[in-house]
Amino acid sequence: MPTTLREAPAKSPASDALHPSHSSGNESARTVRAPRGPSLTCKTWAAEAALRMLMNNLDPEVAERPADLVVYGGRGQAARSWPAFDAIVDSLRRLAPDETLLVQSGKPVGVVRTHADAPRVLIANSNLVPHWATQQHFDDLAAKGLIMFGQMTAGSWIYIGTQGILQGTFETFAECGRQRFGGDLKHRLCVTAGCGGMGGAQPLAITLAGGTALIADVDPAALRRRLKDRYLDEVIDSVDAAIDAAVDYAREGNARSVGVHCNAVDLLERLLERNITPDVLTDQTSAHDPLVGYVPAEMTVAEAAIVRAKYPDEYTAMSLATMERHVRAMVELQRQGAVTFDYGNNIRQRAFDHGYQDAFAFKGFVPEYIRPQFCLGRGPFRWAALSGEERDIFITDHEILRLFPAHESEYAARLHKWILSCHKYPDALLAGDFDRCEPKFRFQGLPARICWLGLGERHRAGLLFNELVATGRVAAPIVIGRDHLDCGSVASPNRETEAMKDGTDAVSDWAILNAMVNIASGASWVSFHHGGGVGIGFSQHAGQVIVADGTPEAAARLERVLTNDPAMGVFRHADAGYDDAQQCATRARLDVPMQDW
C-alpha cells in the first residue's frame, strides 16, 4: 500500500508554491525519464502507461520546473512531493490487473480491488467544497502539504509538452482568419504574450495559420526554449526593434514569429504610444495564478522570485494591478480596431475584480471560435508512442490520413493540413517513406501527436491504433488521451462554458458525469480536477486516458470510451439548445430521453 508522507515543515503559501518538493530534501539533481520500448515494468500496459506518462510529465524536455514537480502553468504539479511520487511509482509497479490506485491531490492514498475493465488509477486534484474554494484556503492547505494544484494535464499525467495545446491554438487562430479576414492570417500582425508551457504554442500556431506573430515574455528562458524547439523563429530584445521587425514581416506576408523579452504590458503600451494597432490580439500569460504564474510590471523574473517568497500578499496586489493595466491596454487596442479575444487565463476576471468595469469588453476564444466544434463532440485527441520511437508517430500520422480522407469533409481537410504541417517532408509521410520523415518541430519527451477529432471519429482512430499494435506495425502500445479542455468535460464560465446559450455556464454536473461515464466505460485512468487553466474557484474538469495495447479487450474498451467521452459534449450542447449539437445527436442516434427539439 502507498506510504504515508512524512510531516512537512511549516512554510508560507509563497514558499510552498515555489518549492512544492521541499519536504523531501534537495532533488535538483534528480532526472526523471519514462521507460521506452516494448518491455513491461508493471503488470499491465494500463499501469505501465500511467507510470510512463507520469514520468514523461517530469522529463526535463517536458516540465517547466521538474525539480519542483511542476509541469506547467505556474505550479501545476504531477505529484505532491517526491516521497508521493516514489510511492505512486512503487504502487503502479505492484498493481494487479484487477486493482485500482487512488490518488488524492498528487498523493497515493489506497489501492482497491475492482476488475480488469476498471481504471487502473483514479485521480482527484485540488477539489474544494465551493464555499471554501478560494485561493487563500487552497494556499493554506498547500503550505501544510495537504493539497496540490493539478492544473489540467499536469496532475492527470497526459501532458505532452507544448504540442499538447498546439493544434487547439492553431484551430483558434485559423478560425479567426476564416471569420475575420476572409481566409487566413497572411499579412496580419498577431500580438500576444506568454511563451511558457501553454502559451509557447502561440507563435508556431499563428505562423501555421499564415500570420506574423509578435509575442512577449518576461522570462528569457521561456523564449530560448521555444526557439530551441522551433516553436519560435527569432528573439529580439528591444521592444521597438521587435515591433518594427514584426510590422515589416506582416506587410511582406511573411509567416514568421518574433519573440521579445519584456512584460506584456510594456509591449502593449508601447504599441499604443506608437499608434500601431495589431490585427489580432490575445494573451496567454499565467494570469490564473497571480502569485506564482504572473510577473508584475517593472519586475524581472529574479526579482519576482524574491518578492513573492518574502511578501506574497504585496506581490499578489502588484500582479493584480498590472493585470488591470494589461486588460485596459487590450481593450484600448480593441477600440482602435484589433480583433481581440481572451485565451482562457482568467485575466479579464482578475482585472474586473481589481476594479476595471470594462474588463469583459472582449469575448473568450471558445464562444468566438471553438464552440461549433464542441457541438459536434470535437476536441483535442492526443496520443503518445510508449516505445519512445518517432517512427511510431510517423506511422500513426500516415494511417490517420488514410482513415480520414481529405475529401470526406471540411474538418478532414483541416486534419490533413494540420498533420502535414507537422512534418518537415510531408511528401515522405504521404508516401509512407518513414525513414525520410522528420518532424518540423521537436518532440518533447515521448514522441506524441495531437489532432482534433469528434464523435464518430475518435473511436475509429483508437481501434486503428490498437490494430497497429496488434500487428506489430508500431513497436509498443499507444496511449490515447486528451486535454481537459474538451467538448463535454469542463465547467469553466470564463473559458470553455462562457456564454452558454441557456445560461448554464457554471453548472458542473456535466464535468462530473463525464468522469463517471469514462470510469463506467473502462478508461485506463480518470481524473477530476478543480481550477485548471483559470485558477482556484473558477472551474471543474475531468480527464480520461485509454491504452491501445493490441488486445481484443482493449479494443472493446477503446470503442466504448472513445464513443461515450465525446458523446458527453454532444449531450451537453444539445441540452443547452445548440442546433448543431441536436442534429449531431440525431445523426449519431444518441439516446436522449427528454428530446423535445
Element (H, E) at 385: strand 379-385
Catalytic residue at 375? no
Evaluate whether residue 14 is within a structural domain: no
pLDDT of residue 19 exceeding 60? no
Quick one: 443 and 505 in the same domain? Answer: yes
pLDDT of residue 21 exceeding 70? no
Amino acid, res. 247 = V
Domain containing 113 equals 45-161+370-590
Structure confidence at residue 163 (pLDDT): 86
Place of cell 492553431: 170
Evaluate whether residue 11 is within a structural domain: no
Look up residue 334 and give its three cell numbers: 480593441
Residue 90 maps to which CATH number? Answer: 3.40.1770.10
Question: Which region holds residue 346: left if phi is over 0, alpha if psi is between -120 and 50, else beta?
Answer: left
CA atoms within 13 A on the CB side of 136: 3
Say if CB 477 and CB 444 are below 8 A apart: no
Structure confidence at residue 445 (pLDDT): 96
Amino acid, res. 88 = I
Evaluate whether residue 571 is within a structural domain: yes
Look up residue 550 and give its three cell numbers: 493490441
pLDDT of residue 596 exceeding 90? no
Phi, psi values for residue 122, rounded to 5°: -120, 130
Last residue of a domain, one of 334, 362, 390: 362
For the chain, the domain total comes to 2
Quick one: 547 and 489 in the same domain? Answer: yes
Q: Which of 54, 153, 40, 57 is nearest to 97 (CA)?
A: 40
The CB-based long-range contact list for 298-302 (8 Å cut-off, 24+ gap) reads 298/263, 299/218, 299/263, 300/218, 301/218, 301/219, 301/220, 301/221
Averaged pLDDT for residues 204-229 = 95
- The single-letter DSSP state of residue 10 is P
Averaged pLDDT for residues 141-163 = 95
DSSP E strands: which ranges in 13-114? Answer: 70-72, 76-77, 99-104, 107-113
Evaluate whether residue 485 is within a structural domain: yes
Summarised one tens digit per residue, pLDDT across range 367-383 is 999 999 999 999 999 99
Last residue of a domain, one of 362, 389, 414: 362
Say if CB 339 and CB 185 are below 8 A apart: no
Structure confidence at residue 465 (pLDDT): 98
Quick one: 263 and 351 in the same domain? Answer: yes
Q: Which residues make Cβ contacts (< 8 Å) with residue 580, sequence separation at least 6? A: 372, 375, 376, 573
CA atoms within 13 A on the CB side of 208: 30
Cα of 320 vs its chain's centroid, Å = 24
Point out which residues pair with 490 in neighbouring strands: 541
User: Quick one: angle between helices 509-521 and 552-575, nearest 10?
Assistant: 160
Q: How many helices (H) and strands (E) does the chain have?
A: 21, 17
Q: Which of 561, 565, 543 is nearest to 159 (CA)?
A: 543
Say if CB 43 and CB 95 are below 8 A apart: yes
Quick one: 565 and 460 in the same domain? Answer: yes
Summarised one tens digit per residue, pLDDT across range 492-549 is 999 999 999 999 999 999 999 999 999 999 999 999 999 998 999 999 999 999 999 9
Q: CA-to-CA distance for 489 and 478, rounded, in angstroms? A: 22
Phi, psi values for residue 40, rounded to 5°: -80, 140
Quick one: 176 and 127 in the same domain? Answer: no
Give 309-359 as a 3 state SS string: HHCHHHHHHHHHHHHHHHHHHHHHHHHCCCEECECCCCHHHHHHHCCCCCH
Amino acid, res. 235 = V
Quick one: 530 and 512 in the same domain? Answer: yes
Structure confidence at residue 227 (pLDDT): 94
pLDDT of residue 14 exceeding 80? no
Residue 313 maps to which CATH number? Answer: 3.40.50.10730
**In the structure, what pLDDT confidence band is assigned to residue 25 with cuts at 50, 70 and 90?**
very low
Place of cell 526579482: 303
Averaged pLDDT for residues 228-243 = 95
- Range 113-143 burial, b when 16+ CB lie within 10 A, else e: ebeeebbbbbbbbbebeeeebebebbbbbbb
Quick one: 58 and 206 in the same domain? Answer: no
Q: CA-to-CA distance for 573 and 579, rounded, in angstroms? A: 9
Give 477-512 as a 3 state SS string: CEEEEECCCCCCCEECCCCCCCCCCCCCCCCCHHHH
Say if CB 305 and CB 327 are below 8 A apart: no
Summarised one tens digit per residue, pLDDT across range 26-64 is 566 799 999 999 999 999 999 999 999 999 999 999 999
* Candidates 375, 437, 451, 584; catalytic one: 451
Averaged pLDDT for residues 125-148 = 96
Place of cell 502507498: 2
Judging by DSSP bridges, how do beta strands 189-193 and 280-281 pair with one another? parallel
The 257-261 sheet, strands edge to edge = 234-236, 257-261, 212-217, 189-193, 280-281, 339-340
Structure confidence at residue 11 (pLDDT): 36
Q: Which residue has the higher pLDDT, 504 or 595?
A: 504
pLDDT of residue 18 exceeding 70? no
Last residue of a domain, one of 346, 362, 378: 362
Structure confidence at residue 22 (pLDDT): 39
Averaged pLDDT for residues 1-6 = 32
Evaluate whether residue 66 is within a structural domain: yes
Question: Count of CB atoms within 10 A of residue 272's CB?
Answer: 14
pLDDT of residue 578 exceeding 70? yes
Q: Coil, helix or strand for 1?
A: coil
Give 146-179 as a 3 state SS string: CCCCCCCCCCCCCCCCCHHHHHHHHHHHHHHHHH
Structure confidence at residue 28 (pLDDT): 62
Q: CA-to-CA distance for 390 and 308, rounded, in angstroms? A: 41
Q: CA-to-CA distance for 68 and 108, rounded, in angstroms? A: 18
Averaged pLDDT for residues 205-214 = 96
Structure confidence at residue 261 (pLDDT): 97
Quick one: 83 and 223 in the same domain? Answer: no
Look up residue 253 and give its three cell numbers: 506576408
Q: Coil, helix or strand for 383?
A: strand
Average pLDDT, the chain: 93
Question: Count of CB atoms within 10 A of residue 583's CB?
Answer: 15
Averaged pLDDT for residues 162-187 = 92
- The single-letter DSSP state of residue 364 is B
Evaluate whether residue 554 is within a structural domain: yes
Summarised one tens digit per residue, pLDDT across range 268-291 is 999 999 999 999 999 999 898 899
Structure confidence at residue 405 (pLDDT): 97
Evaluate whether residue 37 is within a structural domain: no
Structure confidence at residue 435 (pLDDT): 97
Quick one: 396 and 353 in the same domain? Answer: no
Judging by DSSP bridges, how do beta strands 189-193 and 121-125 pair with one another? unpaired
Q: CA-to-CA distance for 253 and 248, rounded, in angstroms? A: 9
Structure confidence at residue 474 (pLDDT): 98
Quick one: 124 and 178 in the same domain? Answer: no
Quick one: 571 and 438 in the same domain? Answer: yes
Quick one: 138 and 198 in the same domain? Answer: no
Evaluate whether residue 172 is within a structural domain: yes
**High-pLDDT (> 70) share of the chain, %:** 95
pLDDT of residue 93 exceeding 90? yes
Look up residue 336 and give its three cell numbers: 482602435
DSSP state string for 421-453: HTBS-HHHHHHT-GGG--BSS---SS-EEEEEE
Summarised one tens digit per residue, pLDDT across range 382-411 is 999 999 999 999 999 999 999 999 999 999
Q: Which residues make Cβ contacts (< 8 Å) with residue 235, sequence separation at least 6? A: 220, 223, 224, 227, 258, 259, 260, 261
Structure confidence at residue 592 (pLDDT): 95
